[in-house]
């Protein structure tokens, strides 16, 4: 019988313990080495499969109009390139098979693809796409532009449905680079006020450039970043959001997009006619102080006018209307007379000497009147002094009121809010006055301050003052933002605010309004070009010399031309300031077309157009007044694409004739003329792609399409139908050339 020995069990136990001890040491050493000696290696593996946490940016809030329309938003844009060579180093058979399929697709479907691309991007012809992509295909380009501009999300989605492009990246070789871009929905209109957010560099370091409302309300718009991590799953990299970002809030402004468009077009038209370097306008709602439109236009090197936030020679500030301090000239005469009248120092019945020599010397300085009129009395009433914009008269009125104590004058101007900063934008400048007792004050200061010199005013200061007169003496806080919204709900509201219930007396406001009406409607008034047959307009012109940037002297080489007023004068709804710059060095007009310009011959013209178009939009006649009970009427149809127009006419019971119906299938472009008997005739236009088309009578949409289809850059002026085009119809197309289309309400 086998005899069991206890010492064998002991030795066996020692062996087991030793084995597990060694195994534990090996495991611990492996773990320690992975955490220390091999740490860098495993971190690389981790980063390749599970990336580091990084910020997940929130979606920036939108900027909205007064009625909730989108003005500025964050939109994805795409750059599309093509790689005409497929590589698979791990599977050469797959590489050969895929490239063979690719070649077959590109050879068979290139024409279809090019035609589809032309429909999405009409400014480049199908033939051009076919030629360009064919070149890339034949030469096996690795990073070839599909379309050499950034495209929108909508265009990208349409692109994915085209032949070849709908086959997936393996076969189409599409390389998509997405960029998030802050986009002004109306292109550059209002940009200097809405502002920009963009990444740039300063002193070689990346920075974020931000200004305008984007900066003022950045804490609301920006949102709160979350965190994300890029992980590799199944060979594909996916984004894993760890902490969801909090998207930014929206801001609702007081800006009206239609009024903004009206102001932009009116100012641009006058600037272009006289080749002026820059101009701006502020439109304010009288009762509320709401700013309905702000336009800042600058002429760039190509001769076109744009809004920009960049400081260029004609644009030393990001926003002329809020941020540019300038001597206002004669529009300040209204301010001076208001102060003296409200203080009781003078009366509207007072008169002063008119000095037939057009010149008079006060305190050793000669003051000149540019628009002297001899009324046979040797004196000017206050209405005549303002109507003829008499500097000599203004000096006499203000010296009579304040020569003994000039501080009373400057104190009154300060009490009327002339030096107040309304903080609408962070970069808003503060207007200033020359004050008695300071180094800048001298014996001529009071004289200069009576007709708009020795003071520095912003546009927003001037329009707010005129708005107070229009409002019967009540001073309103200018308002640019109404509310903060989150998912459509109001989070914070900024109500209208009265700064001074009675800044000036009602009687003073009424007296000054009467004087301003005379400036526009009186015989030979400087503001006569602002006169309207639609309504009564009140306002004042101004033409201020700007000191020469080199000599510092007033030499007539540069000037600011203004018109500020309100309408309708008998029941004011809107207050408007229009200002434009003149620079003799930049006056490129032919000599025979040059004429002396001032506020009345420039800004007053734009003022009138803006006022009439805004009031025309507000006219509401009873519906029954629009019914013609005598004649059968038909809708007027613009020239252009008649396919849809013909269908709409049918809804009115007007059908195209049989011949026209047959023609309709063949042609797209033409004109329809309907008569009162329910018949419509159709005249087709067969347009040549190589020549400039005749777009007269067309609406802007069709006219722009036809011009851009031929590679032309379009500049629009006015509203309605095209009445003139700068390049004659039938001219051979020179791609990239600019064509100006002038539109009017009637042809």
Quick: pLDDT tens for 335-381: 999 999 999 999 999 999 998 888 999 988 899 998 888 888 899 99
Top-confidence residue, 734 or 340: 340
What is the rounded CA–CA span in Å between residue 122 and residue 337?
Answer: 58
Q: Which of 226-235, 261-270, 433-442, 577-586 has the lowest mean pLDDT?
A: 226-235
- What is the C-alpha separation between 678 and 654, in angstroms, rounded? 5
Q: What is the CA radius of gyration of the chain?
A: 36
Residue 117 phi, psi (nearest 5) = -65, -40
The residues facing 208 across adjacent strands are 199
Question: How many angstroms separate the Cα of 338 from the Cα of each of 267, 346, 398, 518?
Answer: 28, 10, 11, 15
- Average pLDDT, integer, range 12-19: 74
Q: Quick one: pLDDT band at residue 253, thresholds 50, 70, 90?
A: very high
Residue 45 has a pLDDT of 54
Per-residue confidence band for 652, with pLDDT thresholds at 50, 70 and 90: low
Whether the per-residue pLDDT at 47 is higher than 80: the answer is no
- Strands (E) located in 93-211: 144-145, 151-152, 174-184, 197-202, 205-210
Angle between helices 333-342 and 459-470 (to 10 degrees): 50
Which residue from 665, 622, 668, 659 is spatially nearest to 641, judged by alpha carbons?
668
Distance CA 613, CA 98 (A): 62
Backbone angles phi, psi at 569, to 5 degrees: -65, -30
pLDDT at res. 218: 94
Rounded CA gap, 110 and 131, in Å? 10
Q: What is the mean pLDDT of residues 555-560?
A: 88
Of 512, 539, 515, 545, the closest CA to residue 527 belongs to 539
Question: Taking residues 102-127, what's their average pLDDT?
Answer: 90
Domain ranges of the chain: 6-37, 55-252, 257-618, 635-744
DSSP string for 539-594: EEEEEEE---TTT-S--SSEEEEEEEEEESTTS--EEEEEEEEEEGGG--S-GGG-
Q: pLDDT class for 705, splitting at 50, 70, 90?
A: confident
pLDDT at residue 235 tops 80: no
Q: What is the CATH number of domain 257-618?
A: 3.40.710.10
Distance between CA 707 and CA 80 in Å, rounded? 25
pLDDT at 657 over 80: no
Nearest to 306 by CA among 316, 292, 296, 320: 296
Contacts of 21 (CB under 8 A, 6+ apart): none
Average pLDDT, rounded, for the chain: 84
pLDDT of residue 618: 79
Q: How confident is the model at residue 633 (pLDDT cuts 50, 70, 90)?
A: very low
Confidence band, pLDDT 50/70/90 cuts, at residue 663? very low
Q: What is the DSSP string of 216-284?
A: HTHHHHS-B-EEEEEEEETTEEEEEEEE--BPPPEEEES--HHHHHHHHHHHHHHHHHHT-SEEEEEEE
For 418-428, the pLDDT digits (tens) are 999 999 999 89
φ, ψ of residue 419 to 5 degrees: the values are: -110, 15
Residues 256-268 have a mean pLDDT of: 94
Contact 610, 283 (CB under 8 A): yes
Winning range, highest mean pLDDT, from 7-16, 203-212, 338-347, 362-371:
338-347
Give the pLDDT mean for 10-16: 71
pLDDT, average across residues 714-731: 78
Q: Is the pLDDT of residue 401 over 90?
A: yes
Class in CATH terms, 55-252? alpha beta
Q: Provide the whole-model pTM.
A: 0.71
Task: For the sheet with 226-233, list strands across it.
Answer: 54-56, 226-233, 236-243
The lowest-confidence range among 183-187, 206-210, 624-628, 633-637 is: 624-628
> What value does the mean pLDDT take over residues 546-559?
84
Q: Check residue 662 and give its pLDDT.
A: 44
CA angle 308, 610, 741 (to 5 degrees): 65
CATH of 635-744, one of 3.30.10.20, 3.40.190.10, 3.40.50.150, 3.40.109.10: 3.30.10.20
pLDDT, position 666: 43
pLDDT of res. 384: 95
Name the pLDDT band for 154 (thresholds 50, 70, 90): confident
- For the ranges 179-183, 310-314, 569-573, 578-582, the lowest mean pLDDT is seen at 310-314
pLDDT of residue 444: 93
pLDDT for position 2: 47
Least confident among 316-330, 445-459, 469-483: 316-330
pLDDT value at 679 more than 80:
no
Please state, in angstroms and as integers, the Cα–Cα distance from residue 290 to each residue in 101, 374, 537, following that order: 63, 42, 20
State how far the Cα of 279 lies from the Cα of 606, in Å rounded to an integer: 10
Look at residue 285 in the predicted model and tell me its pLDDT: 98
In the chain, the percentage of residues whose pLDDT exceeds 90 is: 47
Give yes or no for residue 5 having a pLDDT over 50: yes
Quickly state the pLDDT bin for 88 (edges 50, 70, 90): confident
């Amino acid at each position: 019988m086998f005899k069991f020995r206890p010492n064998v069990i002991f030795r066996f136990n020692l062996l087991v313990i030793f084995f597990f001890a060694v195994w534990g040491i090996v495991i611990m050493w492996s773990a320690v080495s992975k955490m220390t000696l091999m740490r860098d290696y495993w971190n690389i593996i981790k980063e390749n499969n599970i990336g580091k946490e990084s910020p997940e940016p929130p979606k920036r809030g939108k900027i909205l109009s007064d009625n909730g329309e989108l003005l500025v938003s964050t939109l994805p844009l795409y750059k599309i390139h093509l790689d005409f060579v497929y590589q698979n180093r791990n599977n050469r058979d797959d590489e050969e098979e895929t490239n063979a399929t690719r070649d077959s697709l590109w050879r068979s479907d290139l024409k279809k693809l090019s035609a589809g691309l032309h429909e999405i991007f009409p400014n480049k012809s199908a033939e051009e796409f076919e030629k360009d992509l064919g070149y890339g295909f034949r030469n096996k380009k690795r990073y070839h532009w599909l379309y050499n501009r950034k495209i929108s999300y909508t265009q990208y989605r349409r692109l994915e449905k085209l032949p070849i492009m709908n086959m997936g990246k393996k076969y189409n070789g599409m390389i998509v680079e997405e960029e998030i871009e802050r986009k002004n929905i109306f292109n550059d209109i209002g940009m200097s006020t809405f502002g920009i957010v963009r990444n740039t560099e300063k002193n070689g370091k990346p920075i974020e450039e931000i200004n305008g409302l984007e900066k003022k309300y950045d804490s609301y718009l920006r949102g709160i970043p979350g965190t994300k991590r890029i992980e590799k799953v199944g060979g594909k990299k996916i984004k894993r959001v760890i902490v969801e970002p909090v998207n930014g809030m929206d801001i609702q402004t007081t800006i009206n997009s239609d009024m903004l468009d009206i102001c932009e077009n009116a100012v641009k038209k006058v600037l272009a006619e006289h080749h002026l370097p820059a101009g701006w306008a502020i439109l304010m709602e009288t009762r509320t102080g709401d700013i309905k439109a702000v336009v800042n236009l600058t002429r760039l090197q190509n001769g076109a006018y744009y809004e920009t936030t960049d400081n260029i020679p004609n644009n030393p500030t990001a926003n002329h209307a809020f941020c540019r301090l300038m001597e206002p000239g004669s529009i300040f005469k209204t301010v001076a007379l208001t102060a003296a009248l409200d203080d009781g120092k003078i009366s509207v019945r007072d008169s002063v000497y008119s000095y037939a020599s057009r010149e008079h010397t006060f305190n050793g300085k000669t003051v000149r009147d540019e628009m002297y009129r001899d009324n046979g009395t040797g004196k000017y009433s206050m209405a005549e002094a303002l109507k003829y914009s008499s500097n000599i008269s203004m000096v006499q009125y203000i010296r009579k009121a304040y020569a003994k104590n000039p501080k009373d004058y400057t104190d009154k101007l300060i009490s009327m809010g002339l030096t107040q900063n309304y903080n609408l934008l962070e970069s808003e400048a503060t207007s200033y006055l020359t004050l008695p007792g300071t180094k800048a004050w001298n014996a001529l200061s009071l004289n200069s301050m009576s007709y708009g010199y020795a003071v520095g005013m912003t546009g927003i200061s001037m329009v707010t003052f005129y708005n107070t007169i229009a409002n019967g003496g009540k001073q309103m806080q200018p308002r640019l933002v109404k509310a903060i919204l989150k998912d459509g709900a109001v989070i914070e509201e900024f109500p209208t605010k009265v700064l001074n219930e009675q800044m000036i007396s009602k009687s003073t406001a009424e007296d000054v309004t009467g004087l301003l009406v005379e400036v526009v409607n009186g015989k030979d008034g400087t503001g006569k070009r602002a006169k309207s047959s639609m309504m009564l307009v009140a306002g004042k012109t101004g033409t201020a010399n700007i000191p020469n940037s080199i000599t510092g002297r007033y030499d007539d080489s540069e000037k600011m031309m203004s018109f500020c007023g309100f309408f309708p004068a008998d029941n004011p709804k809107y207050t408007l300031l229009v200002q434009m710059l003149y620079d003799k060095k930049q006056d490129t007009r032919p000599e025979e077309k040059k004429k002396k310009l001032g506020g009345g011959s420039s800004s007053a013209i734009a003022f009138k157009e803006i006022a009439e178009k805004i009031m025309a939009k507000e006219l509401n006649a009873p519906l029954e007044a629009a019914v013609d009970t005598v004649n059968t009427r038909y809708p007027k149809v613009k020239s252009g694409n008649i396919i849809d127009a013909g269908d709409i006419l049918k809804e009115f019971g007007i059908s195209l004739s049989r011949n026209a119906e047959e023609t309709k299938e063949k042609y797209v472009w033409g004109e329809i003329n309907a008569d009162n008997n329910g018949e419509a005739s159709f005249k087709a236009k067969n347009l040549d792609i190589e020549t400039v088309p005749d777009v007269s009578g067309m609406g802007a949409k069709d006219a722009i399409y036809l011009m851009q289809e031929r590679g032309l850059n379009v500049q629009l002026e006015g509203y309605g139908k095209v009445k003139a085009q700068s390049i004659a119809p039938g001219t051979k197309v020179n791609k990239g050339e600019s064509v100006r289309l002038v539109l009017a309400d009637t042809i």
